[in-house]
Amino acid sequence: MESFTITSKKVLTLVLVIDKAEQKVLLGYKKRGFGAHLWNGFGGKVEPGETTREGALRELEEEAGITVKTEDFKKAGILLFQFENDPVALETHVYKSYEYQGLIRECEEMRPQWFAFADVPYDQMWEDDRIWLPMLLNGQDPFYGRMYFKRKPVEDTKEIETTVTSVVNTSTSTHVNHSTTMTGTSFTTAQPKSGPFAMCDYQLEHSLQGVPREIALDGTIASFEN
């Protein structure tokens, strides 16, 4: 795997909030940036001086407007995402909670929405999600894994075409909505359906020894949480 050799990693977080009684999971539609136009959990880069747990709670509040008590916030696993010809891997710390406080709200980066477990839009998510998210939803965590991605040829990223309707309202500000029903100036835009990367290989294991804290560059679990 010469083209997948890594020399360093960035630390990211990903949070799934679950309504156990209703069998629903809260996902966010990413409106911009890395992974734009895909549904995902909430998360992002861990900032200097933050623990992964603190970073995950901060991102959840920023992106969905809700908080989770420390005792309800559980580490579900770690995923190391690797990209062809990119020496920097993304070490993503996955958390879950069955409880939350506050009112769910949209922000400029994410549009939150509840999905029944049976209706999770895997065809509009990172390809690896269909491997590990069902495990998380079924309580088969903690887990750890490595996922390998290649960039898709440009023509393969034009899988769906969405009509974007630009509405200019009377106060002259411009709102852009993915909609086919609103009036205004419409144009068609190509969107990647499952992102610009194709997963070409993966390894995922249920962690029997405990909750993984860190994955070493060689893919082994570097340490476990106490």
Are the beta carbons of 1 and 147 closer than 8 angstroms?
no
Please report how close the Cβ of residue 21 comes to ligand LR5KHM72 at its closest, in angstroms.
Answer: 26
Q: Which is nearer to ligand LR5KHM72, 24 or 28 (CB)?
A: 28
Please report how close the Cβ of residue 185 comes to ligand LR5KHM72 at its closest, in angstroms.
Answer: 28
Please report how close the Cβ of residue 145 comes to ligand LR5KHM72 at its closest, in angstroms.
Answer: 10
Collapse the DSSP code of 116 into the 3-class scheme (helix H, G, I; strand E, B; otherwise coil) and give the result.
strand
Collapse the DSSP code of 176 into the 3-class scheme (helix H, G, I; strand E, B; otherwise coil) and give the result.
strand
What is the rounded distance in angstroms from the CA atom of residue 83 to the CA atom of residue 87?
Answer: 8
Please report how close the Cβ of residue 206 comes to ligand LR5KHM72 at its closest, in angstroms.
Answer: 18
Q: Which is nearer to ligand LR5KHM72, 4 or 126 (CB)?
A: 126
**What is the end-to-end Cα distance of the chain in Å, rounded?**
33
Q: Which is nearer to ligand LR5KHM72, 16 or 165 (CB)?
A: 16
Q: Which is nearer to ligand LR5KHM72, 80 or 165 (CB)?
A: 80
Q: Which is nearer to ligand LR5KHM72, 49 or 183 (CB)?
A: 49
Q: Which is nearer to ligand LR5KHM72, 128 or 141 (CB)?
A: 128
Residue 73's nearest CA partner among 12, 16, 136, 132 is 16
**Residues within the interface to ligand LR5KHM72 (CB under 6 A):** 12-14, 33-35, 40, 43-45, 81, 90, 92, 126, 128-129, 147
Long-range contacts: 40-45, Cβ < 8 Å, 24+? Answer: 40/14, 40/125, 40/126, 40/129, 41/14, 41/15, 41/16, 41/94, 42/14, 42/15, 42/17, 42/110, 42/112, 43/12, 43/13, 43/14, 43/15, 43/92, 44/12, 44/13, 45/10, 45/11, 45/12
Please report how close the Cβ of residue 81 comes to ligand LR5KHM72 at its closest, in angstroms.
Answer: 5
Please report how close the Cβ of residue 148 comes to ligand LR5KHM72 at its closest, in angstroms.
Answer: 10
